[in-house]
Amino acid sequence: MDEYEVARLHTDPAFLAKLDGMFKHGYTVKYNLAPPTISKRDPVTGHLIKQQFGPWMRSAFKWLTRFKGLRGGVLDVFGKTGERRQERRMIEDYIKELDEVCAKLNPVNHLQAFSTRNRKHNR
């Protein structure tokens, strides 16, 4: 899930209605986020350090949902992080692996491939 999807989910009217139903009027929401462009890194782990943002972040999320079309493009500031580049590589690797498996499928090994897949997922 990327930043654009988080923004979409946190501005979804159904989600907001659930919050309103769960908490008394006047509640506030605080978001713990690590925006890649402004967050510092933990010197030991190298992970981005989360910061707390107040209710105004919902407005920023609404704004961000309008820019989901930038996802994966040259203007996608979030897509330049190492994590996002790795995710894209993993997707490409997965597709390549599926293409290789599909190319080798035949009536004899099809059931075996399906059975192996199910055993891995049922562990």
Q: Are residues 112 and 56 in the same domain?
A: no
pLDDT tens track for 57-113: 999 999 999 988 888 888 887 877 777 888 889 999 999 988 988 898 888 888 777
H-run or E-run covering 98: helix 82-104
Tell the residue number behind the tokens 């209710």, with chain if given. Answer: 55
Give the residue-averaged pLDDT of 2-7: 89
Q: Are residues 102 and 50 in the same domain?
A: no
Which domain range does residue 121 map to? 81-123
Residue 52's region, left for phi above 0, alpha for psi from -120 to 50, else beta, is beta
Q: 76 in a domain, yes or no?
A: no
The reported pLDDT for the residue numbered 7 is: 94
The reported pLDDT for the residue numbered 111 is: 78
pTM: 0.65
